[in-house]
Amino acid sequence: MTDITIKNGSLDLAASVYGPEGAPDLLFLHGIAGSRDTWEEAVTRLKDRFHVWTLDFRGHGHSDRAGRYLVEDYAADAAAALEVIRRPTIIVSHSLGAVTGAFLAQAPHPFLKAVFMEDPPYF
């Protein structure tokens, strides 16, 4: 595992990277009460076959706090991660992360391959 910092404007976002470079890329996006650590068990099961990225959204985990916390802001955080990955990536997401992934998928991003959403709170 390697911990990295991803820049989104003036914000520093914490992320971790696991698995072999060149393997298919997965970006995990956590829910509103979570952090990148939420995905520890899933990462353990996948890191031998995938290049796994986990992101702390703004205001979560070890990422900087921000003045705004709108869906488009979280989508900008995820897009900043995709720009660092720079390869076709599957987003795996839960709750807030699922809403963020859906938001990102509405406007084509060159590095977004697919979005898997668990429990998106669409109500």
The Cα 83–Cα 11 span in angstroms is 15
Q: Kindly report the pTM of this predicted structure.
A: 0.96
Count CB neighbours of 70 within 10 A. 10
Tell me how many helices (H) and strands (E) the chain has.
3, 6
Cα–Cα distances in angstroms (integers) from residue 73 to residues 37, 83, 93, 105, in the given order: 21, 15, 16, 14
pLDDT per position as a tens digit, 43-98: 999 999 999 999 999 999 999 999 999 999 999 999 999 999 999 999 999 999 99
